[in-house]
Amino acid sequence: MVNSTTECKFLIVREFDKERDVKVVEKLERNCEIGTKKGVSIFTNMMGDPLSRIRFYPIHVILVAELLESKEIVGVVRGCIKNVGTTTPPGSLLKMGCIIGLRVSPTYRRKGVALKLVTSLEEWMVRNGAEYSYLATEKNNEASKALFALKCNYVSLSSLVIFVHPTSTSTCLPTKHISERDIKIEKVNIDQAISLYKRILKTKELYPLDIDTILKEKLSLGTWVCYYKDEGCIKLQNMVDNNEDFITTNNNQTLIGSTSSSWVIFSIWNTCESYKLQIKKSSHHHPLRFLHTTLKHAREKIIFPCLRILVSESLSRPFGFLFLYGLHGEGNNLGNLMEFIWRFTSRLGESMKDCRVVITELGLGDPLANYVPQTNSMSCIDDLWYTKRLSSIGHNNGKDEEMAMKRYVGNNVFVDPREF
């Protein structure tokens, strides 16, 4: 049992028991819609594995809120701990806990259940050595912001944008007179992807230290480099131990050329094998022309305010998505490359069973955020990251350190695909 001092005397918070809680938690999450708008809701489908979104971390936990009398589970939250690096001050290392998947039964909301789950999870993080806790929430989620900023004393850490687009190429990404004759996408081998990302991460203000683990995970489908054929290939320097190195593609071609070439590197994470989403429409509503609703991602809200997908029978079944991560570009001509990357990923998604959406998330300070193709089918969602210095729990002297953390971390961060 987790010991929490938060007042909520009609329940206890304990660790998830795989033998007896799987079906109960699955049912709870089915009953907790993660977004409603005009009669449409989106639900998470963990495919019988509540650990699917945190098992990639060596230190993780699921906590459940259980009523004392009836033993009914009325809330659940996931947490994990990872080591991260920051560039300001250079070389700083932190042990951070992440809050994922907070759910409370509709019947027991606004009764202190969420607060007790969060404080219990924070205590678990402290016992496991975490210095900070953090989470993300959609900017317009006033209830979540009130819980974390007002009741739990979190401070805003970073502002990001989530971009969402259906996989169907019929949803009209602009062409801008580019073709496969103009642009090349080459897959790189995993060892060189690791080396390149270790160089790239030095430009990010917050990043995971175990990028090699992420890239080697089976849900990571690979890493690619996109560049213009007529600009020549790409010369990438100072990748390993300050020595010159080059990327070798799967076709055994060496990308060597001018450092002024425009190029983008990206990786793809397949959530379809981890968990799925499901749209449900109230029976008393007429069919909607457009989906105008909310997805809540791992931390916990993604919103689809302008995603033009028909609410059809195909989307009433569980569906997954591909997540573009590790996006990094250099050069002066990145717009067409980013468009081509979206087309490439959408085609890949179309070929995969149950994949319906492509998603990425970029900090407002990330230069590539300005080059994501904008169409009527592309949703842009404001996301906020919050953090809290855990050593300040029970004290009043932690706010200055939290504000210092905010100054260190701006809006150009690496978004960990494991948290989607």
**Integer Cα distance of 416 and 405 in angstroms:** 19
Q: Quick check: 226 and 264 in contact, CB under 8 A?
A: yes
If DSSP states are collapsed to H, E and C, what string results for the chain? CCCCCCCCCCEEEEECCHHHHHHHHHHHHHHCCCCEECCEEEEEECCCCCCCCCCCCCEEEEEEEEECCCCCEEEEEEEEEEEEEECCCCCEEEEEEEEEEEEECHHHCCCCHHHHHHHHHHHHHHHCCCCEEEEEEECCCHHHHHHHHHHCCCEEEEEEEEEEEECCHHHCCCCCCCCCCCEEEEEECHHHHHHHHHHHHHHCCCEECCHHHHHHCCCEEEEEEEEEHHHCCCCCCCCECCECCCEEECCCCEECCCCCCCEEEEEEEEHHHCCEEEEEECCCCCCCCCCCEEECCCCCCEEECCCCCCCCHHHHCCEEEEEEEEEEEECCCCHHHHHHHHHHHHHHHHCCCCEEEEEEEEECCCHHHHHCCCCCCCEEEEEEEEEEEHHHCCCCCCHHHHHHHHHHCCCCCCCCHHHC
| pLDDT value at residue 289 | 31
| pLDDT value at residue 406 | 56
pTM recorded for the entire structure = 0.82
| pLDDT value at residue 306 | 36
**Domains in the chain, start-ordered, CATH in brackets?**
11-159+384-419 (3.40.630.30), 166-242+260-281+300-381 (3.40.630)
Per-residue pLDDT of the chain (420 residues), as tens digits, is 555 545 678 899 999 998 899 999 988 887 776 544 444 456 666 666 778 778 889 999 999 999 999 999 999 999 999 999 887 666 778 899 999 989 999 899 999 999 999 999 999 999 999 999 999 888 888 888 899 999 999 998 888 989 988 887 555 565 555 666 789 999 999 999 999 998 888 888 889 999 999 999 999 999 999 998 876 655 544 333 444 444 544 454 444 344 447 899 999 999 888 777 776 654 443 333 333 333 333 333 333 433 444 344 445 677 889 999 999 998 888 999 999 999 999 999 999 988 988 999 998 888 899 999 988 778 888 888 999 999 755 544 445 555 555 555 566 789 999 987
